[in-house]
Structure 1
Amino acid sequence: MIWRGATALAGLALRGGSLLSGPDLRERLALSGPPITPGGIWLHAASVGELNSARVLAKAMAAERPLTITTNSTTGRALAGKLGYPATLAPLDVPQAVARFLARVEPSVLVTVENELWPNRSAMAGELGVAQVVVGARISERSAARWAKVPWLIGPMLKRIDVLSAQDEASEERLLRLGLPSRAVAGRLNLKLLGPAKVTPPEDGPMRARTVLAASTHEGEDEIVLDAYLSARAAIPDLRFILAPRHPERGGAIAAMLAARGLEFGRRSRGDGREAQILLADTLGEMADWYAAAGICITCGSFTDRGGHTPWEPAASRCAILYGPNVSNHAPDYRDLAGAGAAMRCDPGDLALRLSALAQDVPAQRRMGQAARALLLERAGDPSPLISRIRSFARGSLA
């Protein structure tokens, strides 16, 4: 009551100033917005990152029911539109805006990504009988401690949740302590891994075992990985190499470096084919093809101070993974992959030796790739039961 009363006053003030504040505020007050098909599923994701992580779920939900996406940011809204979904800015958590939005959308299910719980949205959706689902939920110990100081606010919101899938065990336990009913707990999912887990891995043919990919190189790394490849090629003359810079605009400088060494190479940006023994993959949108082509992937950004790039995309394609000493951006992931025998840490000085050994040991290479994908599937989780439950809440669902 306190929250609703205070936010109702805020809603009056905001509406009074909305004509002077531009179309985005009017959209957030649910006074305007694009055409929406009512009666389906409402998916809310804060911004681009959250929406990207929920793309697999969005596609599955939209296949059978009308789907409306809301975000807090205009960039998130633009991404939803680009993906082909009706999208609008989410209503501010003032009762007038939430009421207008619910009357317009008439959702049967509200699916919230990660942490976006709002008191008015929760209470007013509950009053209308809208099922409430949270996917990829996460909460830190610090945030849980803050919420514990206002149990009258967090407790009712959690009790209204019909299904919640947490990202990790710790988040699940914290939410249970704050008042989440145990009946609402569903299997854990890592939303960011669902996309890679959906990739169909390539067959492990002989050419793949003889192909090395240096993925997403940064300035200062091209020479390191090239030297390692050339050293390995001395022992394996038919070894192929794909060098894919993180920023394709660096292609000219890398091509000059390759030419200065007297190396023959193809350049993808000029239409050269993939049969080149050394291919400079200086294009956008083809990285999935390079993961599929290579049995060994050197994940870069890890031989400089960039913190490394995700290992899960090469894992999806069953690549054996070699990485440098700087993977601070994904340290737990690399640690777990190394522990599973799926990835191997290399210093610049021993990369050539490790690459050469792995390129010559095809069974070991394939074991690493299989272990990488197995760990990916385990960490991602199976979204099918959750999708079925969401569909079962939707009015008129055949599930």
Structure 2
Amino acid sequence: MPPLVRSAPSVALLGYRLVLTLAAPGLALRLLREGARARERLGLAGPRGALEPRAPTVWLHGASNGELASARPLIERLLVRRPDLMLVVTCNTLTGRALVAGWNLPRVAVRLAPYDYVWTLRRFAARWQPRALILIESELWPNRLCEMARQGRPVLVAGARLSARSAARWGRLPGLARRLTGAIRFLSAQDAGSRDRFAALGLPGNRIGPVIDLKAFAPAPAPDPDELARLAPCLPRERTVLAASTHEGEEVPVLAAFAARYRADPGARLILAPRHPRRAPEIAALIARAGLDHATRSKGETPGPARPVLLADTMGEMALWVALAGTSFVGGSLVPKGGHTPFEPAAGGSAILHGPHVANFADTYAKLDRAGAAIPVTGAEDLAAALAALDGPEQSRRAALAQRTIAALRAEAPGPDTLVDALDRLLTAPDAKDPCNG
């Protein structure tokens, strides 16, 4: 596809680029600390090597582990259906890069994403020559979208997520929002609310596809079998609750509810896995304030009768914690963070508890709640009552209901093949007018 005719960038886009220019000194210091990784951030690293240098390439970007794990079914279907293509996958974190590298998929390279400067993006594009860009969830970087549009490369957004707060922020920049939505050639939102908010920002209806929650199709990660066997005696499943991906403001009610449960049953255990492990010292203080003692995962400690809480301050072990816990409270839901995925605890056979803020998975949680497969709570009192009611048989009953509900959701919903179909159409469609210039 030949590059499109260029004209002057919009005022909104120039303003964004000015902000990036002002941020450049800080980024330069960060790059000095990153050493060899800085080359990837600058669009320099990543020779194709043996990865079929003449094969047409599609660029797929996801922020980190969660987005990339949800994209895996799409990646695998694309590789099967388009053996002529290879993929370069980019992400923002080293853990995300390691996750994709560990899949050992054929015709897939993984790199840290180039910073959102025009010159870094052009270096990256010159090296990989991507024919299209697939964005996962909410990674809408203006220069990235506009540079692909300038080159006539279609942009597809899969599992798109846009909260009401983010939509309001974009709404205050209507010129930039119009150009970004204009650069998107196809969008499949992960929920109806996100779909409607993208439409309200100006995305044409003929570019909006069906709602597809990619996380519903992602395979459940397997726990480390050796660690599962080692920790299971310390964490009896029917008496262990997991607080998964908690945010600031959630640990206090979780600990209050668990303390009540522990007083009634000294065999009860809590695995507290914060969304951001760097908060571990702060959370350790909250555990002590709740009158409880804890073991710290990063120190290799194990819980026991005198230390009923395991502070899981590591990354990439959520499958292990789900496998050890008969009940899971899903974080980001007692505070307005939109809630995290119910699919992983459901797949692991853990009964699901969640707060009222579940906009990220609103349709799925609504179905789970209606089926009696999940229990909504509003705070410490509700959570304590739910924990007291969830004995072993009740945990199993609700977990089975959740698995059946999600299986039915998968069966009736369009899946990754719908997105591959859309990409096929975009790759053969004529170039569209560049929306980011003029």
Alignment TM-score, normalising by the size of structure 1: 0.62
Query: CA contact under 8 A between 1:211 and 1:293: conserved in structure 2?
Result: no
Structure 2 CA distance for aligned equivalents of residues 168 and 386 of structure 1: 16
* 1:262 paired residue number: none
Q: C-alpha offsets along residues 89-141 of structure 1, whole Å, 9 cap, x if unaligned?
A: 15535xx7766543332113221233346674243332xxx443221334566
> Where do 1:191-206 residues align within 5 Å?
191=214, 193=215, 198-199=220-221
> Where do 1:133-282 residues align within 5 Å?
133-138=156-161, 142=168, 153=179, 157-158=183-184, 161=185, 163-173=186-196, 178=202, 180=204, 182=206, 184-191=207-214, 193=215, 198-199=220-221, 210-215=238-243, 218-219=251-252, 221-231=254-264, 240-244=268-272, 246=274, 249=281, 257=291, 279-282=308-311
Say yes or no: does 1:53 pair with 2:73: no
Structure 2 CA distance for aligned equivalents of residues 69 and 125 of structure 1: 19
* 1:367 paired residue number: 397
Query: CA contact under 8 A between 1:267 and 1:279: conserved in structure 2?
Result: no
Q: Which structure carries more relative contact order (alpha carbon 8 Å, separation 6+)? A: 2
Say yes or no: does 1:4 pair with 2:18: no
Q: Any idea what SS the aligned residue of 2:269 has? A: strand
Deviates more, 1:36-45 or 1:139-148: 139-148
Structure 1 CA distance for aligned equivalents of residues 203 and 208 of structure 2: 12
- The amino acid that maps onto 2:369 is A
Correspondence for 1:92 among 114, 117, 137: 117
Structure 1 CA distance for aligned equivalents of residues 203 and 97 of structure 2: 36
* 1:35 paired residue number: 46
Change (3 A) 1:22 1:200: closer
Query: CA contact under 8 A between 1:91 and 1:101: conserved in structure 2?
Result: no
Query: CA contact under 8 A between 2:131 and 2:154: conserved in structure 1?
Result: yes
Correspondence for 2:352 among 292, 313, 321: 321
Larger radius of gyration: 1
Using the TM superposition, give the Cα deviation of residue 345 of structure 1 relative to its aligned residue in structure 2, in angstroms: 4.3
Query: CA contact under 8 A between 2:351 and 2:399: conserved in structure 1?
Result: yes
Deviates more, 1:30-39 or 1:310-319: 30-39
> Where do 1:301-320 residues align within 5 Å?
310=340, 312=342, 313-320=344-351
Query: CA contact under 8 A between 1:242 and 1:281: conserved in structure 2?
Result: yes
How many residues end up aligned between the 2 structures? 353
Using the TM superposition, give the Cα deviation of residue 41 of structure 1 relative to its aligned residue in structure 2, in angstroms: 1.7
Query: CA contact under 8 A between 1:98 and 1:120: conserved in structure 2?
Result: no
Structure 1 CA distance for aligned equivalents of residues 338 and 88 of structure 2: 35
How many percent of aligned residue pairs carry the same amino acid?
22
Change (3 A) 1:79 1:301: closer
Structure 1 CA distance for aligned equivalents of residues 346 and 44 of structure 2: 41
> Where do 1:18-33 residues align within 5 Å?
33=44
Say yes or no: does 1:123 pair with 2:152: no
Using the TM superposition, give the Cα deviation of residue 228 of structure 1 relative to its aligned residue in structure 2, in angstroms: 1.8
Structure 1 CA distance for aligned equivalents of residues 417 and 301 of structure 2: 45
Query: CA contact under 8 A between 2:292 and 2:308: conserved in structure 1?
Result: no
Q: Any idea what SS the aligned residue of 1:34 has? A: coil
Using the TM superposition, give the Cα deviation of residue 322 of structure 1 relative to its aligned residue in structure 2, in angstroms: 3.9
- The amino acid that maps onto 2:183 is M
Using the TM superposition, give the Cα deviation of residue 385 of structure 1 relative to its aligned residue in structure 2, in angstroms: 0.9
Gaps of 5+ in 2: 32-37, 80-84, 102-109, 226-234, 428-438
Query: CA contact under 8 A between 1:91 and 1:97: conserved in structure 2?
Result: yes
- The amino acid that maps onto 2:46 is P
Q: RMSD of the alignment, in Å?
A: 5.5
Structure 2 CA distance for aligned equivalents of residues 267 and 137 of structure 1: 36
Change (3 A) 1:21 1:70: farther
* 2:229 paired residue number: none
Using the TM superposition, give the Cα deviation of residue 33 of structure 1 relative to its aligned residue in structure 2, in angstroms: 1.4
Structure 2 CA distance for aligned equivalents of residues 212 and 350 of structure 1: 17
Structure 2 CA distance for aligned equivalents of residues 393 and 134 of structure 1: 14
Correspondence for 1:340 among 371, 381, 399: 371
Change (3 A) 1:4 1:194: farther
Q: Any idea what SS the aligned residue of 1:103 has? A: helix
Change (3 A) 1:24 1:372: farther
* 1:107 paired residue number: 130
Structure 1 CA distance for aligned equivalents of residues 217 and 192 of structure 2: 21
* 1:289 paired residue number: 320
- The amino acid that maps onto 1:385 is D
Structure 2 CA distance for aligned equivalents of residues 300 and 103 of structure 1: 41
Q: C-alpha offsets along residues 116-169 of structure 1, whole Å, 9 cap, x if unaligned?
A: 46674243332xxx44322133456657867877998568535xx2x4312233
Gaps of 5+ in 1: 234-238, 260-264
Structure 1 CA distance for aligned equivalents of residues 9 and 273 of structure 2: 52
Q: Any idea what SS the aligned residue of 1:108 has? A: strand
